[in-house]
Chains A and B, each alone.
Chain A
Amino acid sequence: MSDPANAPSFETAVAQSRTYLLKFARLQLRDEAWAEDVVSETLLAALARPQAFAARSQLRTWLVGILKHKIVDVLRSRAREVTLDSGTHDESADPLEHMAFKASGHFAERPADWGNPEQDLGSRQFMTILEACTEKLPAVQGRLFLMREWLELSSEEICKELGLTPTNLYVQLHRARLRLRECLELNWFAAR
């Protein structure tokens, strides 16, 4: 295969995607060693079958696809560690308790109007905040949340892969979503 003189070779382009892939692996796995390993495996698998990759322009999409499969394998084989809550107060607290409700269970004040931020949501600044807020979630909550939102697994699939009860999963996702809402409100919607 001959490349135009200034375009990087397939091997170089794959190797240059390492940092990009690591970002997702770290966010999803929340463990530096696992993330490094799974990205190395992804790069090796990609280099071993260049014929599987047709359109150079979507190299990253192709690599992320391989990465996701490898990450599901890691999550499955390390299911116990992946779901092991360190049991700190921060992880077990229900963020709903931070919200302003009256004793009757009604809102003490209305939730903020976030407006119609369609365009803002696609901006780089917003993506940075969103990733920072996801990273700030307690590890177990962050992993489960991204299994839903990045790996796009159903709740049933997650329970099956990790051997979790639905109740346990829903409690963790409930906390993760409320915490993310709070973080986005503080750092994006109220800060604009």
Chain B
Amino acid sequence: MKTLMNKLPLMRSCKEVTALVIAREDRELPWMERAALRVHMAMCQACPRFERQVLTMRNAMKQWRGYTDQD
């Protein structure tokens, strides 16, 4: 089963998906990787949580840029 999974072009492990979610912050992913990401997110319970953490961090950095310390 594992061998079969690895042969399917759109199959990625959580570890690979985690790396893609991080990479997406700094570069545009090729369409194949974007498609693989979408397929994995639809099937996985864990990776969407990781993705939300990364989006929260993106939001946090945006707030930090806009934050002017008053002292």
Contacts and interface: CB of A to CB of B under 8 A. Distances in A.
A105 B22 contact: no
Given A60-B68, A111-B46, A99 B18 contact: yes
A78 interface: no
A184 interface: yes
Interface in B39-64: 45-47, 49-50, 52-54, 56-57, 59-61, 63-64
Interface of B: 2, 13-16, 18-19, 22-23, 25-27, 45-47, 49-50, 52-54, 56-57, 59-61, 63-65, 67-69
Contacts of B27: 155, 166, 170
Contacts of A155: 26-27
Interface stretch (A7-15, A44-52, A69-77, A120-128): A120-128
Tell me the dominant secondary structure on chain A's binding face. Answer: helix
A113 B54 CA distance: 12
13 contacts: A96-B18, A99-B15, A99-B18, A104-B2, A104-B13, A105-B15, A107-B14, A112-B49, A112-B53, A121-B56, A148-B26, A150-B65, A173-B25
